[in-house]
Amino acid sequence: MSDPLDAVLVSVDPMQLATWQEAGGESADSVETDEDQQTSSRDAPFPIDAGINSKLVLWSGDLANAEGHGHSCRTGEAKVTKGYRLPARFIIHTIGPRYNAKYRTAAESALYNSTRAVLEQVLDRGLDTLGLAPIHSIKRGYPPEEGAHLILRCLRRFLERHGDGLSRLVLATGDQNGACYPELAALYFPRRPAELRQSKIALAGANLGGLMGEPVHQGRGIRIAANPLGEQRDSSRESSPSPPPSEAAMGDQIETAVAATAGVLAGYGAEQDSGLAVSGVGSHAFARMEQNPDSDASRWQKRVGSSSGGGGGAGGVGK
């Protein structure tokens, strides 16, 4: 059933929502201590960055009411349609993956591809704000915390590289899929030294993915040598080096080379005398001159005619 014509459209301006940096507020924890001053961001995988934190918004409202400026879609793809009557210029559609513990790697790659496809549409269209709901879903079996780690990691890497063109990134956390985001966001978007220490401890030894947050599995790396066969030959030569040739053997090799050179020169002289080219053109069996087979047939007919003339006619054609 469609909405009545006089229905009031309730919309929320993303620029008026409190950012993640602002949501931290001023509290007792925000007062720096000696331990906070000694905490360095150099060795932290995700250092404190107020500029990046000011672009992220965690909002528990209905994402359909957030202002912002479709087609068949498979997992890992993103399609864009107009917003029409929605308070958004465009709607970016994507499909989250199904999760199976047996195929966990495939599910992680599919979730990353879907997230990357959405962010690529943002760059291609030059969008200023983005409202993003958790792409992973409990209904499809995806664990919320695993999906939240991957998406937060991808968003952090994306904002580090392309954050200048984006004013707000609203991450909707109102349903059960996004309930863990406020707790995990501090690991990837620390605002204070205390959160930075927590991030370093919680993510120590964790797989933080590649440059754009993509899943990286060290056990599946393949080493491709430039010349595997050459390396094998080199290794075999190094393992069993051949002894140097003796003086007698070297003398035999020199005499053989001289004899071969003399034979080539002799052949060259013979070809020059016979008028053939040095390259051997004309010396091949297929390049020799053969007699015309028609001339052989005419000579054979002459012989037959002469023999029949001496011994009488052999018969004629009846008319």
User: Which domain CATH number covers 149?
Assistant: 3.40.220.10
In a domain, 216, yes or no: no
pLDDT tens by residue, 255-278? 665 555 555 555 555 545 544 444
pLDDT band at 313; cut points 50, 70, 90: very low
In a domain, 262, yes or no: no
Both structure tokens of 9: 């459209």
Note whether 159 and 54 are within 8 A (CB).
Answer: no
Single pTM value for the model = 0.59
In a domain, 179, yes or no: yes
In a domain, 90, yes or no: yes
Q: What is the total count of domains within the chain?
A: 1
In a domain, 248, yes or no: no
- pLDDT of the residue at 191: 94
Choose among 106, 107, 167: nearest CA to 137: 107
In a domain, 142, yes or no: yes
DSSP-based three-state secondary structure for 91: strand
Phi-psi bin for 126: left (phi > 0), alpha (psi -120 to 50), beta? left
In a domain, 249, yes or no: no
Note whether 115 and 135 are within 8 A (CB).
Answer: yes
Phi-psi bin for 61: left (phi > 0), alpha (psi -120 to 50), beta? beta
Domain range for 172 is: 50-205
In a domain, 229, yes or no: no
pLDDT band at 56; cut points 50, 70, 90: very high
Calculate mean pLDDT across residues 282-294: 61
